[in-house]
Structure 1
Amino acid sequence: MKNRWVQIGLSVVSLALAATLVRFLPQIVEALTGKHVSWSQIGAQFARLSWQTIALMAVVWLASLLAYTFVLTASLPGLTHSQALTLNAAGSAVSNLLPFGGAAGVAMTIGMTKGWGFPLRPVVVSTLTTGIWNTMFRFILPAAGILALLVSGQPLSPAVTSAGWVGVLSILALVALVATALYWDRAAAVLGRALDAGVGLLPRRVRPAEHAPSHSLNRLRADTSEIVRRRWPGLTLGMIFFLGLQWLILVCCLKATGAYPGLAQSIAVFALSRVLTTAVVTPSGTGIMEAGTVGALVFFGAPLDSATAAALLFGFWTYTVEIPFGGLALGAWALLRRRDSAVPAPEKEPISR
């Protein structure tokens, strides 16, 4: 991935695959559900959207972006909400265009925050902290989706119900364990010894080489733990409101197209859609997310044309629109940075004797 031409080639292939999956989405969902839908039927669903509905979706989408600024400002003391909005928008645009956009997003974050005067170390700690928080909520979302499905009254076999409860409890226990280790140094030490003991049980040929932790890594872990202890409410509430507003966007899409299956079912569909965005073969799982969302909605009884239109509409608000918005944010940042660098420094007045 260090070769620029390899990066460009992978990006082109990934974007082409995403476009192909979206182009042939009706055929894909027909293979998944056994039901036929055409682009004309999907277009008819879009034609029914009123400007008031579109405006409401835009407002909720902007609110979700603002909610995530609380995660960033909590992880990086001194960062303003306007800076966090610019940072998030630009990073999302890069991630949405590249199949492995995380590294490019981190590089952009470092460059932008450096321009605002932030030292490198707090930015690295912020990136690590937000990454951990996003990962933990990626685990929590499937648990929430499974739990919603279990209490929805949807007919499920006893075996599926039992497996669902086991999955929910296991996921929540894992998240609680990681959160505890992040919050208390003693818990982190106990967890580290337990992991070392588990690794020691592996055959020697597959056991990772032992390396003493460096001072810099210990300091990085301590700094991250300090941010978590002091600012976990902002990190957590920011993620909850961000994901809650994204779910509300989905509900707006489902209501507007007549595909709303119910409260619990919509939570399960949302959880599935967010998990599918982690598919790295296309940027943000584009095409894969829509197909999986349609399949889940049809399973819950939604009409196929309505479900497909809702999935495409949701993909627009959570993926497509972020690219031009992030481009505008990045352009504004670059323009302001160039303007600031072009302004000559004020001359010092001579000291009177």
Structure 2
Amino acid sequence: MRGRRRQIVFGALGLAVVVVTFAFVLPKIANYGDVWDVVKTLDTAWLLALLAAVVINIVTFAPPWMVALPGLRFRQALPFTQASTAFTYIAPGGGIVGMAGSYGLLRAWGFGSREVARAVTLTGVWNQLANLLLPVVAVLLLSIEHQSDAFLSTVAVVGAVVFSIAVCLLALVLWSDGLARGVGEAVEAATNRVLRIVRKGPLTGWPERLVAFRRSTVDLIRRRWAWLTLAALLGNITVFAVLLVCIRAVGIGASELTWVEAFAGWSLARALQLIPLTPGGVGPVELGMTGILVGFGGANVEVVAAVLLYRAFTILPTLLLGLATIGAWRWLGPGRPREGVDAAAGNPPGG
């Protein structure tokens, strides 16, 4: 009952954030009528450029999963990534919901639980680490141009600290079985202290789970970490390209807003998406991105138009494709053999 009440309060809070953002705050920054006047007069060439950027962005969803899950082909990875990302847009929880959805979808296709867990973990870790590091890169780029932003700098510092801690923990987990077991024991003990406060049952088995994770993961990382990193970076760059095209399409030139300033606003939005308050960060992302881009000198109406276009063209195509994929999931499977058959043949499921 108490958990249900918390979910209701959390959902109500998220809904309130969305309503306040789109019904009160954004209209104060720019009148929606003026924003629509900008959008409806977009040049055909810019619309084609935006369409091309969106298509390229969607295509780059697949490679990280193909690297992290050997045996997953592009024709399977592309619809799968749209479906798993769609989960992050239809329920609060952000990346956690997407990771859970990814695991369920791949298991339904017959991939082994160990291989799926490894792929979900690696793609999730690499993506979240990139999101934490992006504000740091943005602050460095701004410093080269002799600019600064207090809020972005704060986010960058927090991101750098969390990034460093996460990388150190990952390195400890992967260094040896003993260290992995020790980290598992420490995390389990710390988590259980918190759970006791909220009167929840204790977690068990973390040390052995981390040892098993290390053994199944370290070889793949040694062989493919560079490709996984490159694929993650490429995916992020293509998302930024969509925003940059939107900014230029609405008439904001480089003299008004440089690509570095646009990158700073985008990196902040990526960091804000980590806050599991609303699905896909709807509300906080628009506010944060609009605020920093206007602060850098972008005109209010054009900035709001660019931000709303960017959000529409990065959310709606994936959401629609993802929902369609989920509906047709049973017919899209790769027709893989049963796990028992794979094991008997000496081939790991997903390998």
Q: TM-score interval w.r.t. the shorter chain? A: 0.7 to 0.9
Q: Match of 2:144?
A: 151
Q: Match of 1:345?
A: none
Q: Match of 1:88?
A: 81
Equivalent of residue 252 in structure 1, options 245, 254, 269: 245
Per-residue CA deviation, residues 170-195 of structure 1 (Å, 9 max, x unaligned), is 677557645654664499669959x8
Distance 1:2 1:333 in 2: 35
1:271 is the counterpart of 2:267: yes
Q: Match of 1:351?
A: none
| 8 Å Cα contact 1:42-1:305 kept in structure 2 | yes
Q: Match of 1:243?
A: 236
Distance 1:130 1:57 in 2: 27
| Alpha-carbon shift at residue 249 of structure 1 (Å) | 0.7
- Give 5+ residue unaligned stretches, structure 2: 191-195, 337-351
| Alpha-carbon shift at residue 4 of structure 1 (Å) | 9.1
Question: Structure 1-normalised TM-score?
Answer: 0.76
Q: Match of 1:66?
A: 59
Q: Match of 1:18?
A: 18
Q: Match of 1:231?
A: 224
AA aligned opposite 1:56: A
Distance 2:232 2:264 in 1: 18
| 8 Å Cα contact 2:139-2:148 kept in structure 1 | no
Tell me the number of residue pairs that the alignment of Structure 1 and Structure 2 aligns. 322
Partner of 1:279: helix, strand, or coil? coil
Distance 1:71 1:242 in 2: 8
| Alpha-carbon shift at residue 270 of structure 1 (Å) | 1.3
Partner of 1:321: helix, strand, or coil? helix
Distance 2:31 2:278 in 1: 23
1:221 is the counterpart of 2:214: yes
Per-residue CA deviation, residues 181-226 of structure 1 (Å, 9 max, x unaligned), is 4664499669959x89xx9xxxxx99xx998864343111222222
Distance 1:180 1:104 in 2: 25
| Alpha-carbon shift at residue 278 of structure 1 (Å) | 2.0
Q: Match of 1:348?
A: none
AA aligned opposite 1:24: F
Distance 2:273 2:234 in 1: 19
Point out the more displaced range, 13-22 or 312-321. 13-22
| Alpha-carbon shift at residue 250 of structure 1 (Å) | 0.9
Distance 1:101 1:133 in 2: 15
In structure 2, the CA distance between the partners of 1:182 and 1:266, relative to structure 1 (3 Å rule), is farther
1:331 is the counterpart of 2:324: no
Identity of aligned residues (%): 25
Distance 1:315 1:296 in 2: 16
Distance 1:168 1:11 in 2: 26
AA aligned opposite 1:140: L
Distance 1:2 1:238 in 2: 42
Q: Match of 1:308?
A: 304
Partner of 2:60: helix, strand, or coil? helix
AA aligned opposite 1:82: R
In structure 2, the CA distance between the partners of 1:188 and 1:55, relative to structure 1 (3 Å rule), is farther
Distance 2:72 2:45 in 1: 34
AA aligned opposite 2:302: S
- Give 5+ residue unaligned stretches, structure 1: 31-35, 200-204, 341-353
Distance 1:306 1:217 in 2: 49
| 8 Å Cα contact 1:273-1:289 kept in structure 2 | yes
Equivalent of residue 293 in structure 1, options 289, 292, 295: 289
Per-residue CA deviation, residues 109-164 of structure 1 (Å, 9 max, x unaligned), is 2333233321111001111111111121122111111111111232679xx99x89
Partner of 1:268: helix, strand, or coil? helix
In structure 2, the CA distance between the partners of 1:274 and 1:98, relative to structure 1 (3 Å rule), is same
AA aligned opposite 1:18: V
1:262 is the counterpart of 2:250: no
Question: Structure 2-normalised TM-score?
Answer: 0.76
Partner of 2:61: helix, strand, or coil? helix
Point out the more displaced range, 171-180 or 1-10. 1-10
Partner of 1:92: helix, strand, or coil? helix
Partner of 2:311: helix, strand, or coil? helix
- Kindly report the root-mean-square deviation, in angstroms, between the aligned alpha carbons of the 2 structures: 4.0
Q: Match of 1:127?
A: 120
| Alpha-carbon shift at residue 43 of structure 1 (Å) | 0.7
| Alpha-carbon shift at residue 67 of structure 1 (Å) | 1.6
Distance 1:331 1:5 in 2: 31
Distance 1:76 1:133 in 2: 14
In structure 2, the CA distance between the partners of 1:106 and 1:2, relative to structure 1 (3 Å rule), is farther
